[in-house]
Structure 1
Amino acid sequence: MKENASTFDAEALRACCARLLEAAGLPSDRANVVADVFVEGELLGYRTHGLKRMSSNLEWLQSGETSRDGEIRIVNAGNAVEHWDAGFLPGPWVVTSAVERASDMARSHGTGTIAISRSQHIACLAAYLMKATAKGQLVIIMASTPSESTVAPHGGTDRVFSCNPLAAGIPTSGDPILIDTSASMSAMGPLYRAHEAGKQMDVAGIVLPDGTASADPASYFDEDGAILPAGGLEQGYKGYALAILIEALSAALTGYGRATPASAKDGEANSVFVQVIDPAHFGGAEGFSRQMSWLGEACRASNVASGKDAVRMPGDRALAVRRQQMREGVSVAPAILAELRRWGALLGVEAI
């Protein structure tokens, strides 16, 4: 836990966040869902996309940037596919609804796919995954931000893409595999933190206009640099390909994305792709679990170089952090706690 951080029961934090969101105008049922996603992100250790997102979401509710009420518009629908226009409703509520709906379609048809335009920022992708894996289903979530250009194409120096996160939850006979990554060398959160702290990034993840790579976050903010796609200067074609795929599935499928003039004013709103697959309709749930469990065991049992940590599967660390915080309390940084209490005072409700 971070020095000087306070610890709180997860349920108390959920209740706190729900009270604040409801006081800002969000209906109670939706406030509870959004609060659950933020606290789940915090429990899993995704600090930049957990409770830290509360302040911006409260601001958006008050300013009208986030729609307080209204319904998702189903633009097109088939037996196992739907296209939603979320109308800037709260992203955590929208994606939770999408995972639940896609899960129902997958139970009936083997797979369920939903492409979503104009969802307000969806926060931590990993926070949604266990809603499907707990049912023995595989889930894939991808997102892009049509108004945001921060990442260069491989070989270029202009900012074209957003950071484009990708997450997947894969059930096994034990803990699920939880993948949460992006097509870029860095998300914006770590870049902001390093810049504010005057620190270098761990790797040279920024390309300058002259084509050289830099680990200095000031290269992005002050020197017109762009974030490199995953793989960096030499092998960025890998992240570049992923970025294109994520744009195709999250934005192009809906017909609403970077080529839509109106999207330039959408702020942090996301285009989202959600797909749930039910192994029972393919080779069977037992066979799927057996294969993925074997793979996890083989990876964890891999020999490592002297002095190196054991191999982990994606999600192992996050689930260990979650268990610890459920047992000992959720660690909340002083700045985040101060923000929650500031909003409590502004909205006239008890924070925590």
Structure 2
Amino acid sequence: MTTLTLPDAHALIVAAMTACGHSAEAAETIADHLLDCELRGLSFGGLARALSIVERIRTADAPPQPIRVVAETPVSATVDGGDQVGYLVGMRTLQLAIAKARAQGIAIVGARNTWYTGMFSYYLEKAAKAGLAGVIAGSAPALVAPHGGTEARFGTNPIAFGFPATPTPIIWDIGTSAVMYGEVKLKARLGEKLAPGQAYDAAGTPTLDPAAALEGAFGVWGGHKGSGLALVVQLLGMMTGAAADPPGVSGCGLFVVLFDPGALTDAGDYQRRVAAFAEMVRATRPVEGGRPVRVPFDRSVACRDETLRRGTVDVPEVVVAALRQEAGRA
């Protein structure tokens, strides 16, 4: 592992993103999102993902096009991402949704023609700071087998819910696959094995080989219940105009709904009640020998705070070396 200071990690991402064609502003937007993943201990979505972004851009058949709003009403919008990376498309989508939800009390915004949209909790944390609650769902190319099957039919299909509260929001952000795409890519890059029961090869045989899993299918999270949720998320993503089964790393759908609690109740009182309820959940008596009970997003916040205090992140040497090589192209 290579230990990087946080400014050095940020600068390395920016340099690599600039070298593969992003503007300085776009590179900063991407870097902020990826570094937040590293701060929260989700290394597969951090600097390793920056390398995957570079590789996707280098192998694209055509250059990306500008992000465009192709349909709009006071409470809705449809965004064509122009095959831009999802960290940029996601922020444009979020900004539209926040503005509309503030003005109208509710907003539904969909984006299509994008890829690698990142952590939905990243977007919902920003929405919560604006006093808004919300739901984000995302469809993707087929990587995951439905319950009882061994062929890919769903994307990894994350879904997240966010609720404003003080001092931190309540955000539940999950993927509907047994293992996330970024984790499999990172393990393949590092020559590591998957855990048993996470994936199948192209012939439908269980595999621990991440490269074989990328050619086959990941397992679904949560048995038949998770499989049903994955199907629903795919359908929500398709509502943006995204294809059911786009090719390669492309064609993701991003479905965002934000709403102002003040449209239904006193917004400040609601935030206080959310915070009080979260404290009641945390105060639950744990199982014998168990850790204190947490609510969603507690782990992320605690890990981020600790990483910020430490001021460094540990990144696989192969990832750092490859990013430095890419950055050198600038």
Q: Shared fold by TM > 0.5? A: yes
Match of 2:80 among 75, 85, 89: 85
**8 A Cα contact 2:83 2:250, kept in partner:** no
Name the CA distance, whole Å, in 2 between partners of 1:293 and 1:240. 31
Structure 2 counterparts to residues 60-99 of structure 1, below 5 A: 60-64=56-60, 67=63, 70-99=65-94
Q: Give the CA RMSD over aligned residues.
A: 2.8
Report SS of the residue matched to 2:84: coil
- 1:238 pairs with 222, 225, 231, which one? 225
Match of 2:32 in 1: 36
Q: Which residue of 1 aligns with 2:326?
A: 343
Cα distance in 2 for residues equivalent to 1:26 and 1:301:
47
Where 1:184 maps in the other structure, the secondary structure is coil
Deviation at 1:222, TM superposition (A): 7.1
The letter of the residue matching 1:8 is: T
3-state DSSP class of the match of 2:328? helix
* Separation in 2, partners of 1:66, 1:271: 20
Give 1:309 shift.
Answer: 0.7
Q: Distance in 1 between matches of 2:77 and 2:22?
A: 25
Check whether the contact 1:91–1:122 (CA below 8 A) recurs between aligned residues. Answer: yes
- Decide whether the 8 Å contact of 2:19 with 2:326 is kept in 1: no
Structure 2 unaligned runs (5+)?
Answer: none
Residue 285 of structure 1: CA displacement?
Answer: 1.3
Matched, 1:17 2:4: no
Is the Cα contact below 8 Å between 2:199 and 2:217 reproduced in 1? Answer: yes
* Cα 1:16/1:209, change in 2 over 3 Å: closer
Q: Equivalent residue for 2:241?
A: 255
Residue 51 (str. 1) matches residue 47 (str. 2):
yes
What CA distance in whole angstroms lies between the structure 2 residues aligned with 1:55 and 1:318?
A: 23
Which residue identity is paired with 1:35?
A: A
User: How far off its partner does 1:227 sit?
Assistant: 2.8
Structure 1 pair 81–8 and aligned structure 2 pair: CA distance change class (3 A):
same
Number of the residue aligned with 2:131: 136
How far is 1:208 from its partner?
8.4
The 2-side partners of 1:20 and 1:289 are apart by: 40
CA deviation profile, 1:269-320 (whole Å, cap 9, x unmatched): 4211122221122212123213321221121111112211111111111111
d(CA) in 2 for partners of 1:149, 1:141: 19
User: How many angstroms does 1:192 deviate by?
Assistant: 5.0
Q: Tell me the distance in 1 between the aligned counterparts of 2:318 and 2:109.
A: 36
* TM-score for both structures, normalised by structure 2: 0.88
Q: Determine what percentage of the aligned residue pairs are the same residue.
A: 26
Runs of 5+ unmatched residues, structure 1: 348-352
Cα distance change, pair 158–16 in 1 and its aligned pair in 2 (3 A): closer
Q: Does 1:120 align with 2:111?
A: no
Q: Quick one: which amino acid aligns to residue 129 of structure 2?
A: A
Is 1:8 paired with 2:9? Answer: no
Partners of 2:61 and 2:257 in 1: CA distance: 27
Does the aligned pair in 2 maintain the 1:66–1:88 contact within 8 Å?
Answer: no
Q: Which residue of 2 aligns with 1:183?
A: 176
What per-residue deviation string (whole Å, max 9, x for no partner) do you get for residues 228-255 of structure 1? 3222xxxx2211221121111112x123
Q: Mark the CA change 1:24 to 1:248 in structure 2 (over 3 Å): closer, same or farther.
A: same
